[in-house]
Structure 1
Amino acid sequence: MSSASDLARRLGQYAEAVCRAYLSNGRRSGNHWIVGDVRNASGRSMHVRLKDSPKGPAGKWVDEATGEYGDLLDVIELSCGLAEFREVADEARRFLNEPHPEPAAPAPGAQRQPAAQRGSPDAARRLFAMSEPIAGTLAARYLAARGILLPARERALRFHPGCYYRDLVTGETSALPALIAAVTDPDGRVTGIQRTWLDPAGAGKAHLDDPRRSLGHLLGNGIWLGLCPGAPIPVMAAGEGLETMASLRTVMPVLPVAAATSASHLSSLTFPAGCRRLYIAADADAAGRHGIRRLSQRAGEAGILTMVLRPQLGDFNDDLRQLGPAHLAASLADQLVPEDARSFLPSG
């Protein structure tokens, strides 16, 4: 297995391709890639060296605004919001196993649509656009089997009948049906997607070691259900998993909710305009508790009141499936501010 230093060195051989894939809001300037920060913000304070030089090897970077520095493994970790080195190494190996030709200079006056880098926000947007509405598909049946019923106008979820899947261990590839969830910012701009591969026979998720993967720019963004871009959202709920948040929306169909896809992403979720009260769906594991604490701290600093919603069983989808929607609604009624219980829970 490759060491961290070896992976960083190999990534440095494709430094510009790495930057184009993971720091897509930047641009090349001479022998450097210029971007706002290691989390792919727009700006000019972070410089990534693209070629070996007497000052150091390709791939080393420094953020002049914050003093942060590192290599391309750090870029992958922080731009993708990954929590464990195993995830970072897997993503680096996936990147290195793909062809990365040097970008050709366009002919004078030529205009063309560039191919999207795999794993980039552009690639996520294109896959989402290629998918179809969820109504009547295997994805809708999968959600219904888990007790999740969402409005037909819900546009964040789509279905792809043959979504590409690659086994990260064997390298084998296949095409399987998948639930495609858009990851967006609070203004509704798609920055990534989450794919949940499904069993073609309708028996839940596909029988894979990792049937759920995300791509694109995830940090700060989430899978928003009930988002009306541009409108203020005074009250909302947020949590890690799509099915957890979709379960809450099943019994509170007018409450906007965001699924951050992981505990680390939950802690960094961007608050929408006008937010004054935030409900956080609890997760039992240690990483989930850390995400809740960090998000609560950030919300408090922004003047947003936070309250934690706790399931009676393992998670809110367990409550929905095993206890039923009426029992879940009654449990939530005891945890919501009375004004919100009247606004978001159906009477009776």
Structure 2
Amino acid sequence: MIARQTYSLDEIKAMLHAQIETVAHHYARPASGSYTDKGLYFTLNPGRADRSVGSFCIHLSGPKIGRWNDYATGDFGDVLDLIGLSLGLNASDQVREARAFLGLEVETPEIRVARAKAIERAKLQRQASEREQAAEAERRAKQAEGLYLSAEPDLFGTPVQYYLAARRIALGELAHPPGALRYHAAVGYHREETDPETGEVITTRMRLPAMVASIVNGKGRIVACHRTYLAIGASGIWGKANLPDVKKVLGDYRGGSIRLSSGIGSRGGKAVPLAQCPPGSRVVIGEGIETCLSAMLCWPAERVLAAVSLANMAAVELPRNVAEVVLLSDNDTHPQALAQFQAAVDAHAKAGRTVRVWRSDREGEDLNDALKRLRAERQEGAA
């Protein structure tokens, strides 16, 4: 036997990545309902009183291998942090535990050679996976951009106008049309479901009218496309189609946003693009498109972005000149939603921005609900 060897943190992580499934199952043990899907291992968070599988996952492959996310709390970390999360360890103890798990305290020359080969093999596999992931992300981004550009930019007289009107959002009342939104008459819809009794996979494919929206990253490049499928209801009014997943996103939108309004400039027209905003600028960020369009009606001079999801509100990429953000709460009182919203508040505050929150004093009411209620009350009062 030979003495204890010294390894860098990156080398230790690479060793853990080389056997990531074993590591993941050891420090985040399988529970009732655990499953693996597209390289993500979903199980209970070992670091808190997690009651159901679904919000905590670990990447088992690709460029994010070893990374874990808890979308209920907004917490995340790498493979060493996973060990600390599981056992309640600090940084130095995490490394000590990792060394013990890997058997690095004492090793033979043969084991050292085998371990070095495993590290190199894992490195090459990760690099190949990163290239594949980057190529796939680029392909999907181009596909998303193509879908958006193929849609109709003029929303007036389209089902999008009628759908929004039913939500008390009149396009003609906006300071300027939201260029990020378009109408497409036939967007593909695909869904696969497994019959719980027979195990048969049921595939649904069709084309439906949809409101499509461009999702751009911090550099202003389209990286994804949001789709809201539309249909005429029994009352003859356009609304969301009766689908289990009526809103879908094509592409990776993390960090991106739907830029609905740049506000009003000093001469009354559109203000400069977000990337060129002056120091001290303020941005309003909401989750959904309808909430953010409602914000445009309430505060026409403000820059308004839709984050697409509550979890992404914390990650929206903003230029340095944005000094203040107003976060729109949908007033969801579910613990997971509350934790994710607080994570957004904390993330923007940590970035050095002043954070303000809009929240209705009525439980469960978002900004669009409030807008619809107030407009209905005004109509009743005028009658």
1:315 is matched with which residue? Answer: 366
1:209 is matched with which residue? Answer: 244
- Partner residue of 2:160 out of 130, 139, 154: 139
- Partner residue of 2:192 out of 132, 156, 168: 168
Deviations 1:98-146 (A, max 9, x none): xxxxx9xxxxxxxxxx9x74xx111110100010112221111111111
- Partner residue of 1:230 out of 258, 265, 275: 275
SS in 1 for 2:142: helix
In structure 1, C-alpha distance between the alignment counterparts of 2:286 and 2:218, rounded to whole Å: 15
SS in 2 for 1:317: helix
- Partner residue of 1:129 out of 112, 127, 149: 149
Q: Which residue type is aligned with residue 190 of structure 2? A: R
Deviations 1:301-333 (A, max 9, x none): 222110111124411111011112998xxxxxx
1:153 is matched with which residue? Answer: 177
2:74 is matched with which residue? Answer: none
Gaps of 5+ in 2: 1-32, 41-60, 69-116, 194-201, 263-272, 379-383
203 and 278 in structure 1: CA distance in 2 versus 1, 3 angstrom threshold: same
1:193 equivalent in alignment to 2:225:
yes
1:250 is matched with which residue? Answer: 297
Q: 1:9-24 residue pairs with structure 2 within 5 A?
A: none
Q: Which residue type is aligned with residue 151 of structure 2? A: S
1:288 equivalent in alignment to 2:331:
no
Contact 1:156 1:223 (C-alpha < 8 Å) held by counterparts: yes
TM-score in terms of structure 1 length: 0.60
SS in 2 for 1:199: strand
Say which one has the larger Rg: 2
In structure 2, C-alpha distance between the alignment counterparts of 1:168 and 1:199, rounded to whole Å: 21
In structure 2, C-alpha distance between the alignment counterparts of 1:6 and 1:293, rounded to whole Å: 28
Q: Which residue type is aligned with residue 210 of structure 1? A: D
* Percent identity over paired residues: 26
Gaps of 5+ in 1: 10-31, 40-53, 64-70, 80-102, 104-113, 328-348
Deviation at 1:5, TM superposition (A): 5.3
Q: CA RMSD in A?
A: 3.9
Q: Which residue type is aligned with residue 181 of structure 1? A: A
Q: Which residue type is aligned with residue 153 of structure 1? A: P
7 and 154 in structure 1: CA distance in 2 versus 1, 3 angstrom threshold: closer
SS in 1 for 2:249: strand
Q: Which residue type is aligned with residue 126 of structure 1? A: G
In structure 1, C-alpha distance between the alignment counterparts of 2:125 and 2:371, rounded to whole Å: 47
1:301 is matched with which residue? Answer: 350
Deviations 1:200-242 (A, max 9, x none): 4543101111110112121111111113243216011112111
In structure 2, C-alpha distance between the alignment counterparts of 1:58 and 1:202, rounded to whole Å: 56
TM-score in terms of structure 2 length: 0.55
Q: When you count helix as a share of all residues, which structure comes out higher? A: 2
Deviations 1:3-23 (A, max 9, x none): 8458549xxxxxxxxxxxxxx
In structure 2, C-alpha distance between the alignment counterparts of 1:297 and 1:219, rounded to whole Å: 17
37 and 273 in structure 1: CA distance in 2 versus 1, 3 angstrom threshold: farther
Deviations 1:268-288 (A, max 9, x none): 111233111111111323333
